[in-house]
Structure 1
Amino acid sequence: MASEDRLRFGVDLVTFFHPGSWDVADHDAIKAYAQTQPRRFWDKILDGVAASGVTGIELTFSPFNWQDAIKTYGSVESFAAELSSRGLTLASGFFAELEAAGDFTEAGAQSAIIDKAERYADFLKACGSDIMVIGAPLRQTPGATPVRFFDFEQARKIADFLNRLGAVLYGRGVRLALHTEAHSIFAGGRDVDLMMLLTDPAYVNMCPDTAHLILAGSDPLQVVDRHHERVIIAHWKDGLGPMPSDTPIDAHIHDRHRPYFCGFGLGRVDWPGWARLLRDRGYQGWAILELDAAPDPVGDIANGLRLVNQALLPIYR
């Protein structure tokens, strides 16, 4: 099988969340633009993705989520047609409800999450995707009180819910992939190992994010090599290094991440080693090029894809 057939390249739409790329002042202004001119907003994104050279998209939080897409184009079928007309495919959808749910070990919260996930899964399936990437719950800021330990018992409770959620999605033809989000319970090497141990590989898979693993102080190659059989999609992203251990983990944590992300090849990720690892482990599937709010999203995606084509795809051959 040719290397081009083994890997398909897409982009997460968070890449388009930089105010400069929309000529507006801040993120709130991007959201306002999306609300007041939704068709222009989405057409610009989809046209930009197509122009960059990748062929897939990953939906994420509003204003880049599945509900916004349906509202803008009128129906699931119309959105799928917009993708198809540009030669694009829906690779996956990011589901952030676990992070926002607070104590989702409570039965009522779990029921609400499952209901949202089921509706999302039906949308993904209707658009030709079978992967839902799920963000894990955030950790607590070190030193905060009262202390909440992420110990075996807490991990077991979370894993039990992930297993059941994964089984629900599986019944709808969609696979769950847990995302290695920095400062979550699924980014440090020990935490990844623990959750992979406690979850059922038939229902819970993995979406490694190379940059988030770097920010968490982990080695992406080592972590993924230990769990390569669980990887069904991967976020290719570069990072400058581990973040300080006392970084506050609160509503602004994702903003704190951004200064530690960088362009492809400018950070700590060993890209040739990454390519060899995925080749040797027989990985086939989506490689999502994610830049997290890029000032020039189309140009930056194209540059990342150029690096892939010139330096990394030859390794697959």
Structure 2
Amino acid sequence: SRPPGYDTTDEHIKVCADALNQIGEQNIKMGVRMAPHPHVNSLVQTEHETRLLMKLTDPKYVWLTADTSHLTLGGMDPVVIIKDYWPRIAEIHYKDAPRHLRGSKVVAVPRTGDDAGGHGWFRNLNDADGGGVDFPTIQKFLIAQNFKGWVVLDLDASMIPKGSNMEEVLKGNIKYMVDVLHVDPKTV
């Protein structure tokens, strides 16, 4: 969660970066990449915090997981973050956000309450009010870069509408990935 008073300072990020560098150095010895992701209502949620963390961490030991929804909810453009940190992108989580947040530079979620962690703000790829994330542009970039890492369809329990079930939601997301992003249906 966020520090007391809600505001993360550069010193908080430095302490976090130092810890990630130390843990990452040990992880890499075991063949494991450390790749945290910004998360709303956590120590690192804004663009400044994300960029500072990446600046202060050693690229030999710390990578980045780009969770598209959390980046958007944190006031960032996932396309820009993915491109800017491309050499350090280890994994990408595909999860959408409300359409009206595309291009927003402010943290969208409340500081407290049930929705503070993003729940209630996450969207499926095919939700009518989704579109906060520009998945076609991200997908084209990944293909152009010949990305061989993981792209994970990130489904949160809060994304299952009442009266629906996980299987229906998953089918809708897969349909979007095949029809819009041109993902080979045999790979999903």
User: TM-score if structure 1 supplies the norm length?
Assistant: 0.49
| 1:275 equivalent in alignment to 2:144 | no
| 1:195 equivalent in alignment to 2:53 | yes
| 1:302 equivalent in alignment to 2:171 | yes
Assess if the C-alpha contact under 8 Å between 2:73 and 2:109 holds in 1: no
User: TM-score if structure 2 supplies the norm length?
Assistant: 0.79
| Partner in structure 1 of residue 116 of structure 2 | 253
Q: AA paired with 2:173?
A: G
| 1:157 equivalent in alignment to 2:157 | no
Q: Would you tell me which structure has more strand in proportion to its own residues?
A: 1
- Compute the displacement of 1:154 (Å): 2.8
Runs (5+) with no aligned partner, structure 2: none
Per-residue CA distance 1:41-99 (angstroms, 9 max, x = gap): xxxxxxxxxxxxxxxxxxxxxxxxxxxxxxxxxxxxxxxxxxxxxxxxxxxxxxxxxxx
- Compared CA separation, residues 161 and 251, structure 1 to 2 (3 A): farther
Q: AA paired with 1:301?
A: L
Aligned residues: 171
Q: Would you tell me which structure has more helix in proportion to its own residues?
A: 1
Q: How does 1:1-317 map to 2 (within 5 A)?
A: 138-140=1-3, 144=5, 149-151=8-10, 153-240=11-98, 241=101, 247-249=110-112, 253-254=116-117, 257-266=118-127, 267=130, 268-293=132-157, 294-295=159-160, 296-313=165-182
Q: Name the SS of the counterpart of 1:207 in structure 2.
A: strand
- Compared CA separation, residues 188 and 282, structure 1 to 2 (3 A): farther
Q: Distance in 2 between matches of 1:290 and 1:227?
A: 21
| Partner in structure 2 of residue 114 of structure 1 | none
- Compared CA separation, residues 193 and 244, structure 1 to 2 (3 A): closer
- Compute the displacement of 1:148 (Å): 5.5
- Compute the displacement of 1:280 (Å): 2.7
Q: Distance in 2 between matches of 1:179 and 1:157?
A: 16
- Compute the displacement of 1:291 (Å): 2.1
Assess if the C-alpha contact under 8 Å between 1:239 and 1:261 holds in 2: yes
Q: Name the SS of the counterpart of 1:165 in structure 2.
A: helix
| Partner in structure 2 of residue 95 of structure 1 | none
Assess if the C-alpha contact under 8 Å between 1:150 and 1:185 holds in 2: no
Q: Name the SS of the counterpart of 1:235 in structure 2.
A: strand
Q: Name the SS of the counterpart of 1:177 in structure 2.
A: coil
| Partner in structure 2 of residue 23 of structure 1 | none
Assess if the C-alpha contact under 8 Å between 1:187 and 1:218 holds in 2: no
Q: Distance in 2 between matches of 1:306 and 1:202?
A: 37
Q: AA paired with 2:91?
A: I
Larger radius of gyration: 1
Q: Distance in 2 between matches of 1:184 and 1:194?
A: 15
Provide the alpha-carbon RMSD of the alignment.
Answer: 2.6
Q: Distance in 2 between matches of 1:251 and 1:303?
A: 26
